């Protein structure tokens, strides 16, 4: 299946499967830090034998704050560093800790120097859809207008548009406007990578994602949207004085609206999302005797279409 794929694809699948399986014994434990720690350790161990050279552009934090998969860490030491890497060993740590739906392990790659640095500001405004949104949607338009425009582009009534917005207080105004416009709010409580990607996947049950979410997750999402040919715009949205100061010190333009090509650019992309608990793009991990069955949603720009890959691994 993957003989024509980009070089990192198989290693990235292995890394996300390792992360998902590595934290499985802690799913439902109530300890989200332990879940995340186990996934990080397993992902990093898997990447020690990677057959490609990459640098972590979107990782677990600065080196002195997070010793595993930190920003700037080199993957595949001794090989030419040809890829930017974005990782989230568990997107939805609280979901996994509580054994709720939607927890995933995610990793993406693009050509070296192509990913937007997003470590200084933790939040961004986002709008994401499939190809129908290109040239139609705009981050600065109202939710009502975007719903109307997308409905017209998809040739269906606004009442059939399904809009994913993360269920956080910062988005409550958006949610009210979406419902007032007659569209359906697709509720989720954490983990916006899978929902954002689903907005660009045909027949996923999500037509549009809007609202305030994580910046690192936004860059991960952008890699998938590039492969899917979808639409995405973002703007940094610091939520406190410290983040504003960090953004300004890093010379971020907080008024700038980023187009998809400004989030991640080029022609070669890999995106892998592996299910931990059941989700919109993948099944959750299933136990079968002493084994775990782990499902991954795989996008590779050289392959063109999404693949679902199932791996069988031994329980820890």
Domains and CATH numbers, the chain: 9-113+268-314 (3.30.540.10), 123-263 (3.40.190.90)
Cβ of 155: how many Cβ atoms within 10 Å? 7
User: What are the backbone angles phi and psi of residue 148, rounded to the nearest 5°?
Assistant: -60, -45
pLDDT tens digits for range 181-236: 999 999 999 888 999 999 999 999 999 999 988 888 999 999 999 999 999 999 98
Model confidence at 6: pLDDT above 90? no
Among residues 182, 185, 109, 111, the alpha carbon closest in space to that of 151 is found at 182
Residues 64-79: pLDDT tens digits?
454 467 788 888 876 8
Q: Which residues contact 295 (CB under 8 A, 6 or more apart)?
A: 274, 275, 282, 283, 284, 285, 308, 309, 310
Do 115 and 202 form a contact (C-beta atoms < 8 A)?
A: no
Query: Which helix (H) or strand (E) covers residue 28, if one does?
Result: none
Q: pLDDT digit string (tens) for 239-272?
A: 778 877 777 777 777 788 999 999 999 999 999 9
Q: Taking the CA atoms of 131, 135, 140 and 146 in sequence, report the sign of the dihedral they define.
A: negative
Count of residues in the chain? 316
Query: How distant is the alpha carbon of residue 169 from its chain centre?
Result: 21
Beta-bridge mates of residue 124: 213, 236
């Amino acid at each position: 299946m993957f003989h024509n794929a980009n070089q990192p694809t198989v290693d990235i699948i292995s890394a996300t499967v390792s992360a998902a399986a590595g934290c499985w014994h802690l799913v439902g434990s109530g300890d989200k830090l332990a879940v995340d720690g186990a996934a990080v350790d397993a992902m990093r161990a898997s990447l020690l034998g990677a057959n490609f050279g990459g640098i972590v552009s979107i990782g677990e934090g600065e080196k002195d704050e997070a010793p595993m998969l930190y920003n700037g860490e080199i993957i595949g030491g001794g090989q030419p560093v040809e890829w930017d890497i974005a990782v989230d060993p568990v997107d939805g740590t609280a979901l996994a800790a509580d054994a709720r739906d939607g927890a995933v392990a995610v990793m993406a790659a693009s050509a070296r120097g192509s990913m937007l640095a997003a470590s200084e500001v933790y939040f961004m405004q986002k709008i994401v859809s499939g190809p129908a949104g290109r040239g139609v949607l705009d981050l600065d338009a109202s939710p009502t207008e975007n719903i109307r425009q997308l409905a017209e582009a998809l040739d269906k009534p606004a009442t059939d548009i399904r809009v994913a917005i993360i269920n956080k207080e910062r988005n409550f105004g958006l949610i009210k406007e979406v419902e007032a416009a007659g569209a359906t709010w697709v509720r989720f409580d954490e983990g916006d990578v899978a929902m954002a990607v689903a907005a660009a996947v045909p027949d996923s049950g999500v037509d549009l994602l809007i609202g305030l979410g994580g910046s690192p997750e936004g860059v991960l999402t952008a890699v998938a949207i590039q492969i899917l040919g979808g639409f995405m715009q973002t703007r940094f949205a610091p939520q406190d004085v410290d983040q504003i100061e960090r953004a300004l010190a890093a010379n971020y333009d907080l008024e700038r609206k980023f187009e998809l090509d400004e989030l991640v650019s080029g022609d070669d992309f890999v995106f892998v999302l592996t299910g931990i608990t059941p989700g919109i793009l993948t099944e959750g991990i299933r136990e079968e005797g002493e084994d775990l069955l782990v499902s991954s949603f795989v996008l590779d720009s050289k392959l063109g279409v999404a693949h679902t890959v199932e791996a069988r691994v031994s329980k820890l």
